[in-house]
């Protein structure tokens, strides 16, 4: 017999079905609640509310499990590359060699960005934060690719996916090139996706650019680890915006804005800024640990804690290993990294952090790798966005395919009751 949940309001009982996910997670389906009772539920921050059913990503915060389409993140990080994982997330299955090759070819084919987009970039001051520029440019892609707004069949959807994967990578790097005053680079069809990222970012017309396989492999892994994380803030934003049938570029642009905040994707930048501050103030990690524990001090240890992972972040384990490899191979000797190690070791031993299950999250280590690769701090969140792109696309596609209704939460009004209009004197 299927399970139900009973709710009693003013002595009257109502029964609601309990649905079960494929990993046995249970949820009370309350979609008839208001019709039956007149009441709604309230759950700020959605800590207890599922917004959808989804077949893309499974995570268990207590056990530290993360899987894309059923595959363990550890397996994918070891055995697949970023485009394979992107294909898996978006289309549901790992690609065959031929499908992967076709996907790469189609992304390349659509990587050119309309030259007039450069006029938009020129309108920004050089000091503009790259995430703000990226959100604006992503949204502007809609104007130059109007067909991608109303995708009506699978072919158009596939094209919109390839366009987004190709063009987003290019404009993401352009935000950096603009800030440096460098000429804007184009996708090189002889190179892979992640190699292209490095080329687009760093190649100069004056000399040949030498790619390091250690660097591209580490970046590939980082992108895989960031590729999806079920209904987080930016992904929920992408689904919410898309639920009004806004196009893919507009929805992704909203996701970029959501990701920008320091409590979400902006945390990797905030980690490095915090480490730099500690360094400049004499490297006293104990002082900053004490600040983080002081309830009268708003300071939080950036890169620690997670809304969902309350034991450990499985991505952090993988990335910690990658960070050690990259730093070792590149022979990086950086006082900031020493501070990071000291802070991590001290926090892991500290009762305050232990009692609250606060562990380093993926952002604690990703910022360290990006710094070692010479990526400027304010580009860190852009790096996250490049990695998260296939997840956003997959979730947007699933939301449209499931024919989900427009997202429109309710509220409990706590303002003034009706009052008579009188002009203040």
Answer for which of 130, 303, 314, 387 binds ligand ACO (CB under 6 A) is 303
For ligand ACO, give the closer residue by CB, 103 or 353: 353
The binding track of 263-292 with respect to ligand ACO, each residue x by CB under 6 A or -, is xxx-x------------------------x
Nearest approach, Cβ of residue 363 and ligand ACO (Å): 5
Sign of CA dihedral 147, 92, 231, 259: negative
CB-wise, 150 or 281, nearer to ligand ACO?
281
Beta strands in 63-186 (DSSP E): 65-68, 71-72
108 φ, ψ to 5°? -60, -45
The rounded distance, in Å, linking the Cα atoms of 265 and 367 is: 11
Cross-strand partners of 60: 65
361 near ligand ACO, judged by CB under 6 A: yes
Q: Is 358 in the site for ligand ACO (CB under 6 A)?
A: yes
65: which strand partners? 60
Per CB under 6 A, 381 contacts ligand ACO: no
Name the strand (E) or helix (H) holding 271: helix 267-280
- Told to check if 318 binds ligand ACO by CB under 6 A, we report no
Distance separating alpha carbons of residues 344 and 347, to the nearest angstrom: 5
**Helix then strand then coil, % of the chain, to nearest 5:** 55, 10, 40
Residues in CB range of 331: below 8 A, 6 or more apart: none
Give Cα 370 distance to the centre of its chain: 16
Residue 339 interacts with ligand ACO (CB under 6 A): yes or no: no
Residues catalogued as catalytic = 306, 363
Minimum CB separation from ligand ACO for residue 288, in Å? 10
Would you say 305 or 314 has its CB closer to ligand ACO? Answer: 305
Q: Smallest distance from the beta carbon of 244 to ligand ACO, in angstroms?
A: 25
| Size, binding site for ligand ACO by CB under 6 A | 18
Check if the beta carbon of residue 25 is closer than 8 Å to that of residue 205.
no
Interacting residues of 258 by C-beta distance below 8 A, sequence separation 6+: 233, 234, 236, 237, 238, 264
- Does position 302 bind ligand ACO by CB under 6 A? yes
Query: Which position's Cβ is nearest ligand ACO?
Result: 305
Q: What is the smallest separation between the CB atom of 18 and ligand ACO, expressed in angstroms?
A: 25
Binding region for ligand ACO (CB under 6 A) out of 34-42, 145-153, 164-172, 257-265: 257-265
Minimum CB–partner distance for residue 306 and ligand ACO (Å):
5
Distance of CA 113 to the CA centre of its chain: 23
Which of 304, 359, 370, 392: binder of ligand ACO (CB under 6 A)? 304
Contact 409, 237 (CB under 8 A): no
Q: Which is nearer to ligand ACO, 354 or 356 (CB)?
A: 356
Residue 348 lies near ligand ACO (rule: CB under 6 A)? no
Strand partners, 20: 26
Secondary structure (3-state) at 260 = helix
Task: Say whether residue 305 binds ligand ACO (CB under 6 A).
Answer: yes
Instruction: For the sheet with 65-68, list strands across it.
Output: 57-60, 65-68, 71-72
CB of 184 to ligand ACO, least distance (A): 29
Residue 166 or 305: the one with the smaller Cβ distance to ligand ACO is 305
Q: Is 218 in the site for ligand ACO (CB under 6 A)?
A: no
* Rg from Cα positions in the chain: 23
For residue 17, list its beta bridge partners: 4
In the bound complex, what is the minimum distance in angstroms from residue 233's beta carbon to ligand ACO? 8
Q: How many helices (H) and strands (E) does the chain have?
A: 18, 6
Region of 61-69, 78-86, 154-162, 356-364 interacting with ligand ACO (CB under 6 A): 356-364
Q: Which residues bind ligand ACO (CB under 6 A)?
A: 263-265, 267, 292, 300-307, 356, 358, 361-363
């Amino acid at each position: 017999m299927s399970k139900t949940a009973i709710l009693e309001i003013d002595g009257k009982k109502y029964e609601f079905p309990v649905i079960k996910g494929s990993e046995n997670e249970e949820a009370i389906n309350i979609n008839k609640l208001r019709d039956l009772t007149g009441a709604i539920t309230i759950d700020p921050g959605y800590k207890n509310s599922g917004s959808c059913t989804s077949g893309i990503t499974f995570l268990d915060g207590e056990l530290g499990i993360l899987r894309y389409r059923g595959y363990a993140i550890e397996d994918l990080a070891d055995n697949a590359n970023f485009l394979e994982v992107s294909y898996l997330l978006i289309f549901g299955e790992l690609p065959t060699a031929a499908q992967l090759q076709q996907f790469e070819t189609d992304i390349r084919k659509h990587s050119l960005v309309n030259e007039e987009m450069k006029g938009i970039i020129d309108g920004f001051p050089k000091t503009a934060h790259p995430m703000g520029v990226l959100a604006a440019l992503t949204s502007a892609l809609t104007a130059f690719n109007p067909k991608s707004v109303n995708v009506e069949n699978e072919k158009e959807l596939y094209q919109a996916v390839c366009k987004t994967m190709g063009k987003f990578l290019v404009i993401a790097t352009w935000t950096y090139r603009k800030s440096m005053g460098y000429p804007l680079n184009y996708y090189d069809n002889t190179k892979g996706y992640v190699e292209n990222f490095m080329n687009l970012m760093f190649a100069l017309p004056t000399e040949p650019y030498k790619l390091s396989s250690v660097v591209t492999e580490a970046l590939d892994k980082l992108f895989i680890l960031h590729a999806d994380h079920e209904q987080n803030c930016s992904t929920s934003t992408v689904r919410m915006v898309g639920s009004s049938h806004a196009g893919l570029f507009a929805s992704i642009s909203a996701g970029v804005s959501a990701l920008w905040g320091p409590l979400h994707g902006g945390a990797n930048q905030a980690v490095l800024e915090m480490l730099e501050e500690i360094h400049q103030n004499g490297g006293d990690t104990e002082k900053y640990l004490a600040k983080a524990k002081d309830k009268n001090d708003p300071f939080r240890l950036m890169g620690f804690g997670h809304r969902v992972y309350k034991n450990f972040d499985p991505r952090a384990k993988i990335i910690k290993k990658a960070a050690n490899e990259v730093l070792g191979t590149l022979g990086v000797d950086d006082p900031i990294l020493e501070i990071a190690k000291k802070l991590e070791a001290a926090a892991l031993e500290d009762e305050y952090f232990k009692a609250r299950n606060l562990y380093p999250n993926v952002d604690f280590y990703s910022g360290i790798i990006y710094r070692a690769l010479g990526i400027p701090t304010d580009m860190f969140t852009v790096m996250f966005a490049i990695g998260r792109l296939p997840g956003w696309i997959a979730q947007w596609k699933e939301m449209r395919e499931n024919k989900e209704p427009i997202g429109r939460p309710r509220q409990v009004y706590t303002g003034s009751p009706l009052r008579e209009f009188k002009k203040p004197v």
